[in-house]
Chain A
Amino acid sequence: MNSYNGMELMICLASRYLGDDGTVVVGTGAPCAAAMLAQKTRAPKLMIMFEAGGVGPLLPSMPISVGDSRTYYKGLVSTSMPEIMETCQRGMVDYTFLGGAQIDMYGNINSTHIGDYETPKVRFPGSGGANDLASLCWRTMMITPQDKNRFTNDINFITSPGYLTGKGAREAAGLPPGCGPYKIITDLAVLGFDEETCRMQVELIHLGVTREQIIENTGFELLWADEVLESAPPSEVELEILRNEVDPRRYIIGRG
């Protein structure tokens, strides 16, 4: 049995959702690590893009900024932000990963502030490219630790759209149909979304985690998939590549 920490587990699981003929826009940190791992394991042809304009790099190491020169190192194209965002708007980007301070049961994400808008208790960066990516990419994913403060329906501000208020709400608001939150990968479980209600549901539980633990760490009522399975732990190969090639300095996995 391999030993691994929560961050390593999340990155390995996230990487398995990225397919070989897919395109993914990632930020720095865990999402980038997941994309790099996917590229070095099951999806060597995965096309990695960065919102500032980097397309198809052969990443020599983890970028620190989504606009630094690593994001187009030995790349196919070094282009512009409008070019990347317009590619998303045309429907050519399959996956994206977002982060945030809060997420509600419909997968709406807050990365703008806590408190009221005029004089917030804490001001965060805001949307950046997150709103655009959540609006325009086909499948939005999130890698995040799971706790009650983060998984809450008392979300202060909807920075980026999940399913808004439920089924059909995205389309009614004018967002392109057929896309939205796909998987939320946490240190306890992998959560998906119920097709009928668009509410968050538990699909996979990690080894050694109980249902009670998941409920205790969620601020809203979760749905459960008809068949809740156990997630497959990281393989030896995944861990070896993650530790030796993707993040040898443990910038990301050191946080697990």
Chain B
Amino acid sequence: MANKNVDFHVTGDQNVTYKKAGKRRLFTNPDADEAREFFHAKSRRMVDKTTTVKEAVSRYIQNGDYFAAGGFGSNRIPAAVLHEMVKQKKKNLGFAGHTSTHDMQILIAGNCLDRCDAAYIVGLEARGLSKISRKAFETGAIEATEWSNATLAWRYKAAAMGLSFLPARSTLGTDTLKYSAAVEMPCPYTGKKYAAVPALYPDVAAIHVHRSDIYGNCQIQGIAVSDLDLARAAKRLIITTEQIIHNEDIRRAPHSTVIPYYLVDAVIEVPYGAYPSNMAYEYFTDEDHLMEWLKAEKDEEELKKFLDKNIYNCENHWDYLEANGGLERMNQLRTQENLTDRR
């Protein structure tokens, strides 16, 4: 039973010193007032934001921007946007390597990145390591600052809260902290040590969702990963959606809206828009295609042919799907996702 009379507030003066624990570069400004100024100017008008992937990428993603992708590497990634970024030859982007796997692999194939907050990079989980991604980091072509998945997720959260940092209890004592840009600080109440992780306000993010209305009110099924915080942290937000639904359908189930329209700049309907990644309750990962990617990376000529087939020669996401088995393949992946082959 807690003693309700205890006063936990700080007693006496504390002599606070901050230790710059992480020696790597901080790529984005954590200042909350700078962010407030930006968000103050951002339109809150509920207007039709539907557009094309081409237009959204050209308008909202500029060379040099800091970019973040929603989802979890091979799950619910905004694949159509990533391909278009490669086609439009976006350059010198910063990137949030937050459980990034296939999403990062696409952008590295397009030579789009030059700096990265690295929590999980270069691998595709159990599938193996991406050769071109490894090379980009091993040669120093992409500058890295280390984080962990939680500290990077909490960097989004700090930004989503409109703050400049959050305290965290992981990474302390390790090289992951030493090669980050975090600062050690004592808790003002208990004096215990924390890693203060700076807010991350990406210039632009792209998130693929299950349903959105034309204004950008979004519903997501399955796990949210870090997308609820990312949607709030990002200054500009591009939404691709499996399906555009009526605003009435949003209003019929307001508890299902996880991203409100005022965070969103562009909405594009892209069915199978997360392909070849997994879309909860819709389609499973195309494991064969991901293995083809990894294999193609082993030979420069093969990779060029592969990228021509899957990105450069595709006018849009429909062409990409068509190049990989079209609706028949999508239907197989739907069967796999829903385990309807095992009834």
Binding site for B on A (CB under 8 A): 27-29, 51-54, 60, 64-69, 71-73, 78-82, 85, 88-89, 108, 112, 117-132, 135-136, 157-161, 164, 169-170, 172-176
B150 near A173: Cβ-Cβ < 8 Å: no
CA distance A174 to B19 in the complex (A): 13
Q: How far is the CA of A81 from the CA of B71 in the complex (A)?
A: 11
The 4 closest A-B pairs by CB, nearest first: A174-B193, A173-B173, A67-B72, A53-B223
Is B75 part of the contact surface with A, judged by Cβ < 8 Å? yes
B146 at the interface (CB under 8 A from A): yes
11 further contact pairs, Cβ within 8 A, besides A67-B99, A126-B118: A28-B126, A64-B74, A65-B73, A65-B74, A66-B72, A67-B223, A82-B226, A123-B121, A125-B122, A129-B120, A131-B171
Residues of B bordering A, CB below 8 Å = 71-75, 97, 99, 101, 118-123, 125-127, 129, 134, 137-140, 146-151, 153-154, 157, 168-176, 179, 184, 192-195, 221-229, 278, 280-281, 284-285, 287, 337, 339, 342
Please give, as numbers and ranges, the residues of chain B lying within 8 Å of A161 by CB-CB distance. Answer: 172-174
A68 to chain B, nearest CB (A): 5
The contact of A89 among B125, B169, B284, by CB within 8 Å, is B169
Contacting residues, chain A, for B179 (C-beta < 8 A): 117, 157
Report which residue of A52, A157, A175 has the largest number of chain B beta carbons within 10 angstroms of its beta carbon.
Answer: A52
B127 surroundings in chain A (CB, below 8 A):
64
Cα A53 to Cα B70 in complex, Å, equals: 14
Closest to B187 in A: A174
Q: How many angstroms between the C-alpha atoms of A169 and B174 in the bound complex?
A: 11
Min Cβ gap A200→B in Å is: 18
Which residues in B have their C-beta under 8 angstroms from that of A127? 119-120, 146-149, 171, 176
Bound complex: CA of A64 vs CA of B120, how far in Å? 16
B74 nearest CB neighbor, chain A only: A65
Chain B residue nearest in CB terms to A28: B126
CB-nearest residue of chain B relative to A88? B150
Alpha-carbon distance A172/B192, docked complex (angstroms): 10
List B contacts of A169 (CB < 8 A): 173
Q: Tell me the dominant secondary structure on chain A's binding face.
A: loop
Interface centre among A85, A89, A174 (most CB of B within 10 A): A174
Query: In the complex the two chains form, is B150's CB within 8 Å of A82's CB?
Result: yes
Nearest CB in chain B: distance from A30 CB, A = 10
Name the residue of chain A whose CB is nearest to the CB of B336: A69
Whether B125 lies near A65 (C-beta < 8 A) is yes
Closest B residue to A135 by beta carbon equals: B170
B-side contacts of A176, CB under 8 Å: 169
Q: Which residues of A contact B280 (CB under 8 A)?
A: 69, 78
Cα A170 to Cα B193 with chains together (Å): 11
Contact assessment for A131 and B170 in the assembled complex, using a CB-CB cutoff below 8 Å: yes
State which of A67, A89, A112, A124 has its C-beta within 8 Å of the C-beta of B176: A112
With A119-B140, A160-B176, A175-B173 in contact, do A126 and B75 touch (Cβ < 8 Å)?
Answer: no
Say whether B285 contacts A78, CB under 8 Å: no
Instruction: Kindly state the separation between the CA atoms of A158 and B171 in the bound complex, as whole angstroms.
Output: 10
- Candidate in B139, B172, B225, B281 with the most chain A CB atoms within 10 angstroms: B172
Given known contacts A69-B337, A125-B122, A85 and B149 CB-to-CB distance under 8 angstroms: yes
Q: Is B169 a contact partner of A128 (Cβ separation < 8 A)?
A: no
Flag if A174 contacts B184 (CB, 8 Å): yes
Inter-subunit contact A72/B175 (CB<8 Å): no
CA distance A31 to B146 in the complex (A): 25
Q: What are 27 sample pairs from A and B whose C-beta atoms fall under 8 A apart? A: A29-B126, A52-B99, A60-B342, A65-B73, A67-B71, A67-B74, A69-B222, A71-B223, A72-B222, A79-B223, A80-B224, A80-B226, A80-B228, A81-B149, A82-B157, A82-B226, A85-B153, A89-B150, A89-B170, A112-B176, A123-B134, A125-B123, A127-B171, A128-B120, A158-B174, A161-B172, A175-B173
